[in-house]
Structures are given as structure tokens and as C-alpha cells.
Amino acid sequence: MFLREHTTTMSASLTVCVCDYWKRCHFHNRREPEAGDCCSQTKKPLRRLTVEVDAINGNYYLREFLQQRVMGDRLKKVHGVQLIWLEFHPPERDTIDYRWAHILAHTLWEHIEVEHLMSWLSTLGGGFSALGEQFERCAETAGKISLQQLKIGLRLGDPFLQARCKLYYSISLIQRGQLRVAKHLIREQYAFARANEEKDVRLVRMCHGIWHRLAYEYEQRGKRKIGN
């Protein structure tokens, strides 16, 4: 670590430059010259502090200069430093970020378990939905399973999965005779599907299929009213 003069344009704030392994320079807090700025024409000596450090420790130096700024302000006021030159070199040995590895492993494990759970719920929900054509209690169970899938979709933050779960739930509503609620739910998902048709074409087809089923139930309800 040493100080030396460096000829460049004067800057009012402390500038930080990171020199990477390939000698490419990345500047921080560098003031862009404004139109008519006389300093852009006159170059004066700029006091530079060069720090040669490995990339791991250099990251902490950079964070200190850019975020905390206590060290930078002291170097500027006491020693007159105007440019911090961080020259990185590879560390003697690589370090493992065990904390991040643990977070990543837990996230992957959770995602795998959720996918496994969704597969079981889809199979179970399909069975109850098929029985729901004859038994209303099975239709209610299929609806509850769809709501559990929706909770998982909300946790994963997947809007397409959420839309599919809502469509599954609309089938349960149709089987239980709640046609008006199912109609509004299908229309809502159809609007979302049309807006994202390029990303998920199957969602649009699901809406069409369930809508036809809804129309059939309305037709059967009308016939029953006429018969009565």
C-alpha cells in the first residue's frame, strides 16, 4: 500500500477504481465532466492511494469505501487522497461460502419436495374430481386439494401454477352447482392466459375446455327448469 501522484482530472469526491485480474479498470464515484467545465481542460496532479490486495479482502475494502465511507473521508481529509486504486490479485486459495451453500441447498431441497408434493396432490385431486361427477362430497374434497395446491403456488410465486390451481377449483365449483362463481373465476384466468399466451398456451386451452363444461351445465340446468 503506497501513495503516489497520478495526473488526471480533479474530482471533488473520492474516486474508487478497481483493477481486476485482466487489468481492466472499474471506476466508482467518478464525476462525469459537465459542459463548460474548466477542469476537464486543465489536468492537475491527483493524489492516489494504491492498495494491492487479493480479491476476497479487496471486496471488503470496496464495501468500506462505497458504503461506510469513514475510512475514505479520513484519507481524504487527513492525507489528501483523492483516488483509491484497488489492484486485485487472485487469493492464495479459494474459500467456500458455507452459509450461502447451506441456503442454496435448503432452497433446492424445498423445491424438490414441493414438486413431489404437487405431483401427489395432482394425482389425488384428479381421482376425487372424477368421482365428483357422481358424489358431491368427492367434489368438495377435490376443491380442498386444489386450494392446497394454490397455497403452494402462492409460496413459490408462480402465477401460472396459481392460475391452473384456480381452474381446477372452478371444476369443483361446477360439480357442486356454483356456476356463477365458477364463471367469474374462469373469466379471470382466461384474461390472464390471453395476456400470457406466448408463455403458456395450455392455460388458454384449459380455459376453453372448462368453459365448455360450464356452458353444458348451464344448458342442463335450463332443460331441468323447462321440464319442471
Each residue of 160-216: pLDDT tens digit? 888 989 999 999 999 998 999 999 999 999 999 888 877 778 888 999 999 999 999
11 within domain boundaries = yes
**pLDDT confidence of residue 63:** 85
pLDDT for 32: 60
Residues 131, 188 within the same domain:
yes
Q: Are residues 155 and 137 in the same domain?
A: yes
Q: 188 and 117 in one domain?
A: yes
Report pLDDT for 40: 46
Q: Residue 105 maps to which CATH number?
A: 1.25.40
The confidence score (pLDDT) of residue 1 equals 47
**Residues 137 and 179 placed together within one structural domain of the fold:** yes
Tell me which residues of the chain have a pLDDT lower than 50: 1-12, 35, 38-42
The rounded mean pLDDT for the chain is 82
Q: What is the pLDDT of residue 33?
A: 54
- Say if residue 102 is in the same domain as residue 79: no
The range of the structural domain enclosing residue 62 comes to 2-89
Are residues 143 and 49 part of one domain?
no
**Distance separating alpha carbons of residues 1 and 84, to the nearest angstrom:** 11
Residues 218 and 225 sit within 8 Å (Cβ to Cβ): no
Query: Is 213 within a domain?
Result: no
Domain membership flag for residue 61: yes
Last residue of a domain, one of 89, 120, 151: 89
